[in-house]
Amino acid sequence: MDDIAPARPAGPTDISDDLVRREAKKAAVWLGVAALFALAVLLAQPIMVIIGGIVFAAMIDGGQRLIARVAPFLPRWLRITLVLLGALGFLVWLVTFAGGQIAAQAAEFPAVIQTQLERLALWAQSHGITMQNLDLQAIASQVLGSVGQVTRALGGIFGGFTTAFLIFILAIYFVLEPDLYRRGVAWMLPERSRAHFEGTAVRMGKSLRMLLFGRLIGMAVEGFATWGLLAWWGVPMAALLGLLTGLLAFLPNIGAPISGALMIMVGFSGGTEMGLFCIAVYVIVQTVDGNIIVPMVAKRTADLAPALVLGAQLMFGLLFGILGLMLADPIIAMLKIALERQAERNDANRVADQG
């Protein structure tokens, strides 16, 4: 009995109560989640670049799958090459045949907007609406940059080559060997969750392909239709307005009002009749896109509420800049699918437990 060491007294950091120990573990989990969130904010830019690579890879994969329906005998790498060459050819055409015209129109664009704002101010004053200390230059800046991230997106098309190049390279790696990266992520998960992750990843990929396919169709229809109709009527800067309309169509809810406002302001610079025609073009193009293209694609993609998408765009644009604004829609679609898959898994487990 003398050889038994006396019990060590409890120290101030020892937790003997089970309830306190459980609560401490919960607090540690929440602190870990907060730390991960802070780390995600610090690494926001590379994270958004990686997600951009995944989204762009889904777009390329969707293109090669379309080619496979027509020419299934072609190897996958060749179909991917054809998609990339097609995208490169479009960019070369845009720069070669329309680049000079669009650049010249872009140089005139701020002056046209400034003139229209001055006319709007005079019209308001003539109707008894007083505007004291009116700074037209500031108003022009607000109109052209009403959504700061959107205007930076238009400039970033030519200035953000580094980010675009990284997204492009990542997308090629992802689309060439998608199974390699999917298996790598699954390997890091518990074994019982790997099959669930595989199914979720497959469903996410399909939803992304359809979502982006519909977005590209909408961009092409809106851009070329706007360009053609405005050019037919002789509206100034028709090529630039068509390009802006097509690019901004990638941003649902936000892009259409901005492109429409710019189109109408330019239209009224040529007179009331031309302005009314621009309004009609905007209504027709948006009606066709909203009532034909969007419903056709939405049936086979994640059905996202417009208010949810708009709120996500505002938050992601504020937190992550232009990339967050552009990728808000695909990210929300993937999150929705992940939550739906988890709910299905929980229901299946509940049924199994009851059985």
| Chain segment 209-231, per-residue pLDDT in tens | 888 887 888 888 888 888 888 88
Residue 30 located in a structural domain: no
Res 146: pLDDT: 44
- pLDDT at residue 156, as a whole number: 44
Q: Which two tokens stand for residue 155?
A: 């400039």
Q: Which amino acid, one-letter code, is at 95? A: V
Structure token pair of residue 292: 């034909």
Residue 324 lies in a domain: yes
Asked whether residue 51 is assigned to any structural domain, the reply reads yes
pLDDT of residue 128: 64
In a domain, 8, yes or no: no
Cβ contact 262:187 at 8 Å: no
CA 107 to chain centre: 27
Q: Crossing angle for the helix pair 306-354 and 148-159, nearest 10 degrees?
A: 90
pLDDT of residue 301: 61
Which residues have CB under 8 Å from 288's CB, separation 6+? Answer: 221, 225
**pTM as predicted:** 0.70
The pLDDT of residue 100: 61
The DSSP element (H or E) to which 231 belongs, if any, is helix 191-233
Q: Which amino acid is at 313?
A: Q
CA distances to 67, 95, 185, 219 from 241, rounded to whole Å, are: 31, 16, 43, 13
pLDDT the model gives residue 147: 41
Q: What is the pLDDT of residue 8?
A: 52
| 264 in a structural domain | yes
Which residue range(s) make up the domain with 260? 40-348
In a domain, 233, yes or no: yes
Asked if residue 269 lies in contact with residue 115, where contact means CB atoms within 8 angstroms, the answer is yes
Residue 238's pLDDT is 81
Q: Domains in the chain: how many in total?
A: 1
**C-alpha to C-alpha distance for 215 and 62, rounded to whole angstroms:** 12
Average pLDDT per block of 10 residues along the chain, 355 residues long = 51 59 77 77 79 89 88 88 88 69 64 69 66 49 46 44 82 88 84 84 86 83 88 83 83 78 80 84 82 63 72 80 82 87 83 73
Task: Confirm whether 222 is domain-assigned.
Answer: yes
Task: Evaluate whether residue 297 is within a structural domain.
Answer: yes
pLDDT, one tens digit per residue, over 46-79 is 888 888 899 899 889 988 888 888 888 889 889 9
- Give the model's pLDDT for residue 148: 43
